[in-house]
Structure 1
Amino acid sequence: MRIALAQMKNDGTIKENMHKSIELMREAAEKKADLILFPEVQLTEFFPQYENKDVTGYSLSAKSEEVYEFQKACKKYGIIAVPNIYLEENGKKYDASILIDADGQINGTQKMVHVAQAKQFYEQSYYTPSDDGFKVFDTEFGKIGIVVCFDRHYPESIRTEALMDADLILIPTVNTKSEPSEMFEWELRVQAFQNSVAIAMCNRVGTEGNMHFSGESIVVDANGEVIVKADDKEQLVYADIDMAESKIIRGNRPYTGLRKTEFYE
């Protein structure tokens, strides 16, 4: 399976970012990618850096025109897409990624479970924690899980999806140059190794307000080895992943199967 990570910068408006996203889908499909992963809140500025930002017009429903445009593009270009949007559902708003199959049908939605509240990450001011937890989605290539940004800092997130037999876990994120990049890489490598699962993390780039996004989108295999890591420039990052490898490695190195859960609190 070939995946593409859309390491994007914010172009200013939902319309402009939407146009760029569709163009990146087209380009990725031309390069024979089977799936394209986008960074967190790709259609707008990273508004949670502000404690009281007016975000009128930023939220979308699963039936919004923008989501439908992604669906049409998936079908047109024959590619799976995983956009991340500011989702409004049943009167609540979430940080959510939607997995859209290559036939244009929505396979499912993963909402952020753990919601941060810290300097430049005032996410509790905008987001509701997920009401339906972690999920793994069946695709034609294997089982794919999504862990949204901050969730990856909790080992239970990736572990839970690995226990649901995920072959690949996708992470849309917003990492900055002031954060510990090397630590973030090792965080993924260790979790990939301990859970025998491939992980791909897609970040944004550019400067917005006082935040300087670092890029460095990365793909790690189920042995914890780095397949590819980008720099801080806007680009599509490609990686070829053997989706069967996760199950094989998990069978040969059965860490998860040997857990003694009766002793855990």
Structure 2
Amino acid sequence: MAKHVKEAALKVASIQMEPVFGETAGNVARSIALLEEAAEKGVRLAVLPELCNTGYVFESRSELRALAEEIPAGPSTAAWIEAARRLDMHIVAGITERDREVFYNSAVIVGPSGYIGRYRKVHLWGEEALYFTPGDLGFPVFDTPVGKIGCQICYDCWFPESFRLAALQGAELMCVPTNWVPIPGQDPKREAMANILVMAAAHSNSLFIVAADRVGTERGQPFIGQSLIVSHTGWPAAGPASSDRQEVLVAEVNLADARRKRNWNDFNQVLRDRRTDVYDRMLGTGYKPGWY
């Protein structure tokens, strides 16, 4: 049965929302209302933005200490676990994590059967480095009933190694909770740089990508929205969303296509064509390669 589910059409959602800093209970409740909207559309897997339970712009360690939660014991994860069970949905949500006195910008992965795992942001952006510790879990891939899922968070997308290492471990779908900000020099008539990067990553690794951004301005920091869902071909399957509204983007995908349709022609398949005589197969990490 599990094999059949993994090869069936799957509806996925990118939840674009506007958290309010410090209002954790309200933010989680708002996220669940949007998840319920996605469930009404038949969605089986949904991605929420980065740090969506607390907001993003911290100004002190005391704020961070007061708002951060343990995973999976904290109330935000517990609420998402209950929602996943009730809605028969897998959920990937950005969360402010506390592990004793160490703090991480994390994503939690839950499903109808409960807690699955966590990802900790590896590449910190800007003043995040004042508050968070860089992730220490690498790039795990979770084998779930809906497919093999990996995670990135925001700035991780600027590092092609992140997607490549997940793909080599067998990931079919990458979930990206994010808080994209304006990029200097961006032509307002062009698509966001972040969108270009995730489209390129999907294409060059034969991965589906669900990127969920936030909107609004928090403590003077604007966020750009433009969430999207990308096919393994690199072309958008849904979105980009608006730059200023809460939205639920939905696309129907077949994750088996990430494997079955990986050959570009009679000669080329991007992961198989890697020159591992020139560079290390797993980029110098201790990961064991998956199938490809």
Deviations 1:69-110 (A, max 9, x none): 11111111111111111111143111111110122x111111
Match of 1:230 in 2: 241
Equivalent residue number for residue 184 of structure 1: 194
1:68-87 counterparts in 2 under 5 A? 68-87=78-97
- Within the candidate set 265, 269, 273, 1:258 is matched to 273
1:57 is the counterpart of 2:69:
no
The aligned counterpart of 1:93 is 103
Q: Name the structure 2 match of 1:6.
A: 15
CA distance in 2: counterparts of 1:158 and 1:79, whole angstroms: 24
Query: Does the 8 Å contact 1:51/1:122 carry over to 2?
Result: no
Per mean C-alpha deviation after superposition, the further-off stretch among 94-103 and 246-255 is: 246-255
Within the alignment, does 1:106 sit opposite 2:115 as a pair?
Answer: yes
Task: Name the aligned partner's letter for residue 6 of structure 1.
Answer: I
**Which of 234, 239, 248 is residue 260 of structure 2 equivalent to?**
248
Q: Is 1:153 aligned to residue 158 of structure 2?
A: yes
Aligned equivalents of 2:202 and 2:75: distance in 1?
Answer: 36
- Tell me which amino acid in the other structure corresponds to 2:154: C
Amino acid of the residue matched to residue 73 of structure 1? A
Whether contact under 8 Å (2:152, 2:176) holds in the other structure is yes
Residues 55-77 of structure 1 show CA distances to partners (whole Å, capped at 9, x for unaligned) of: 34210001012211111111111
* Matches of 1:76 and 1:51, distance apart in 2: 36
Q: What is the DSSP-based 3-state SS (H/G/I as helix, E as strand, rest coil) of the residue aligned with 1:57? A: helix
Structure 2 residue aligned with 1:122 = 127
Find the counterpart in structure 2 of residue 212 from structure 1. Answer: 222
Instruction: Provide, for residues 106-147 of structure 1, a one-character-per-residue CA deviation record: whole Å limited to 9, x for no partner.
Output: 11111111223xxxx301111111222111111112111111
Aligned pair in 2 of structure 1 residues 24, 175: CA closer, same or farther (>3 Å)? same
The letter for the 2-side match of 1:239 is: A
TM-score, with length taken from structure 2: 0.83
- Greater than 6 Å deviation, 4+ residue runs: none
What is the alpha-carbon distance in structure 1 between the residues aligned to residue 38 and residue 112 of structure 2? 13
Match of 2:285 in 1: none
Residue identity in the other structure for 1:168:
L
2:68 match: secondary structure? coil
Match of residue 132, structure 1, among 137, 142, 147: 137
3-state SS of 1:237 partner = strand
How far is the alpha carbon of 1:262 from its aligned partner?
3.0
Verify the 8 A CA contact 1:36 1:81 in the aligned structure 2: yes
Distance in 2, Cα, partners of 1:205 & 1:182: 14
How far apart, CA to CA, are the structure 2 residues paired with 1:260 and 1:225?
26
SS at match of 2:250: strand
Corresponding position of 1:141: 146
Instruction: Answer whether contact 2:13 2:210 (CA < 8 A) is retained.
Output: no
Query: How many residue pairs get matched?
Result: 259
Which position in structure 1 is the counterpart of 2:7?
A: none
What is the deviation of 1:251? 4.6
Give the conservation status (yes or no) of the 8 Å contact 1:47–1:55: no
**Aligned partners of 2:47 and 2:177 also within 8 Å:** yes
> How big is the shift at 1:52?
6.7
Q: Which residue number corresponds to residue 221 of structure 1?
A: 231
- TM-score by length of structure 1 reads 0.92
In 1, the alpha carbon distance for the partners of 2:257 and 2:111 equals 22
> For the structure 1 residues 209 and 178, does the alpha-carbon distance in structure 2 shift closer, same or farther, using more than 3 Å as the test?
farther
1:171 counterpart = 2:182 = no
User: Which residue, out of 18, 22, 36, partners 1:26?
Assistant: 36
